[in-house]
A and B are shown apart, each in its own frame.
Chain A
Amino acid sequence: MTLLPAIFLAASLTAAPVPLRTAGGPAARSGEAESAGARFAVVCLDADLLACSPCGASLLEFNRTVPPDILEERVVGVLSFREDAAVPDPRKARLARTRWTGYCRANGIRFRAAVDETHALDPLSERGMTILLFDAGAGILKRWTAPFGPGVLEDIIRSLSVKKQL
C-alpha cells in the first residue's frame, strides 16, 4: 500500500503554510522561528463506522484532548468508505462527506477531513482509527492505532508541537 494519497490529501488541506501558534508561550516570546507546516497528523477513519459509539470513543477523546489550534492547523482526517470495486458509485463518496458533516455537528469535531476516493488508505481504518504523523521532509514519523494506550495522546500532542531547530 502506498501512503502517497494520504500525503496529497493532507497537503491539499494544509496547502498554505500555517504558522505554528504557541499561544504566546516561551518559544514565541524568545523569537524562535518555527517550522511552518512541517508536521501534521493524518487521522484515518471509516465513515461507515461513525455511528458506532464504541468505535468513535478514541476519535472523540482525541478531539477533546488535543488543543484546538493543533486540531485546526495540524490535523486532517481521511475518510474511507465501502464501495463495490466492480461498480464504483460517486454517490458513496458524497454520502461519506454528508455523514462526516452530521458527525461533526453533534460532536464538535475541530479538524477537517477529506474522502479517500482512491481507497488506498482503507486498510488503515479497517480496525478503527489510525493516526499517522507526517513530517514534510522525512515522511511518516510515527503511527498510532486506536484504542490508544496511556500516554499516546500526550505523545501525539508533543509530536505535533515540536519546533524545528535553526
Chain B
Amino acid sequence: MKHRLVFALFVLSAAAVFATGKDLPAVRVGLEELAAIGGPESDALFLWTGISVDRDGNVYFSDALDCSLKKFGPDGALLKRAGRKGRGPGEFDKPVGLAVVGERVYAWDLYDRSVQVFDRDLDYRLTLPMPGSVDALAVLPGGEIAACVRASLVLTKVVVFRPDGTPVREFDLTDPKDEMAPGSISLAVDPSGAAYYGYLFRNLVEKRSLDGERIWSREILGAGPGVSGNVQGIPLPAETCILSLARDGRGRLFVLGGSAAGRPGRDVFVLGPEGAVLGSFVLPEPSHSVYFDHRDFLYVSADGGVTMKKYRVTFK
C-alpha cells in the first residue's frame, strides 16, 4: 500500500511539472491526493458544479444533475442532501454554484435571476433577487458579498450586497457594446477587496479594485478563441478560455485553461498578485473548476464531475 502511494505521488508530481507548451516556465508543483468524494461506483455526486468548504472542513457541493446541494463532513461522509428539481424556494433547475459565507450558504441556478440562501445545515432561508443570473459570488473583507451577474448575453455586472441582500453598489464588468459574449465569469477576491476575474469566452484575466477600476489585465493563452456561431446576433466563441480561477493563501492566482489551452481543463497557469505569470502545471485529469479552502488545499473535479479530488499543493 505504501509503495502504491509513493508511486502515485511520483506520477502526480511528474504530471504536474510538465510544461504547457505556451513558452511559460513549468512550475514544479507536487500534488498529493488527500481525499476524494464520489466516483463511478458511488451515488454521492453526479455532476458537481460548485464547491465551498466551511471553517470546520465540511465540503458543500451544488450538483446540476440531481438538482441538489450536498454537505459532506471532513471525513467525506454525506451529512445532508437538500433541494429538488423545481423553480420554488429551495428548488433548482440547474444549480451551478454555491459559496459558504459565515453561517450561510449562498447557491445559484443557471436560469434564475436570484440567489437562494440556506443555513449550514442546508435548510432553506430566503431568496435574494438579482438583476440577472449569477456566475460567481465571493465574500469581501468587510463581510459584503460580490456577485458576477449576467444582465444580458454581453453585459455582466458586479453587484455588491450585504448578507441580508441589501444592495450596496454595482458596476459594469463588461461593455454592453461588446460584440462578443464574455460567457461565464469566475471570481476570486484578495484581502484588500480587489477582485480577480476570468472570462470563459475571452483570453483574459484581470484584477480590479473594489470599485471596478482595472488594476491589470493579462492574456495568458497566447490566442483568443475563434467564432463558432451566434445567438441573437451575438457571436459565440468556438472555444473556452478561462474555466475557473482561485487564489491561495499566499496570494497566488491559479487559472484553469479551457479548450483554447493546450490541455483543456488540465493546464493551470499560476500568476502572482501583480499579474506576472509565474508558470504553469498540468492537472492529472480534466477539471471544470479549481478551488482553495482556508487551509490552502486544492479541490478539483474528475470523472466529468462525478468525483471531487482534494490535493495538497507543494511548490518546489
Contact = CB atoms under 8 A, between A and B. Distances in A.
Interface residues of A, number: 16
Nearest to B46: A102
Contact of A51 (B41, B43, B64): B64
A50 B93 contact: no
Contact of B43 (A48, A91, A98, A107): A98
Interface in A89-104: 91, 94-95, 97-99, 101-103
Interface in B22-44: 40-43
Interface in B269-316: 303-304, 306
Nearest to B110: A53
B40 A106 contact: no
Nearest to B43: A101
Contact of B66 (A48, A91, A97, A106): A106
Nearest to B38: A98
A105 interface: yes
Contact of B65 (A50, A91, A94, A97): A50
A105 to B, nearest CB: 5
A132 B37 CA distance: 37
B63 interface: yes
A107 B65 CA distance: 9
Contacts of A101: 43, 46
Nearest to A97: B40
Contacts of B93: 53
Interface string B60-76: 00011111100000000
B306 A106 contact: no
B85 interface: yes
A59 to B, nearest CB: 13
Nearest to B47: A51
B40 A102 contact: no
A20 to B, nearest CB: 30
A94 B38 CA distance: 12
Contacts of A48: 304
Interface in B46-96: 46-47, 63-68, 84-85, 93-94
B42 A106 contact: no
A152 B76 CA distance: 46
Interface string A86-128: 0000010011011101110111000000000000000000000
Contacts of A50: 47, 65
A91 B306 CA distance: 11
A106 B94 contact: no
A103 B65 contact: yes
Contact of B306 (A95, A103, A105): A95
A107 B64 CA distance: 12
A95 B85 contact: no
Contacts of B46: 98-99, 101-103, 105
Nearest to A107: B85
A106 B85 contact: yes
B40 A94 contact: yes
B47 A106 contact: no
B216 interface: no
8 A-B pairs closest in CB distance: A102-B46, A94-B40, A102-B65, A102-B66, A106-B66, A106-B67, A105-B66, A106-B85
10 contacts: A53-B110, A53-B111, A91-B303, A97-B40, A102-B66, A103-B65, A103-B66, A106-B65, A106-B67, A106-B84
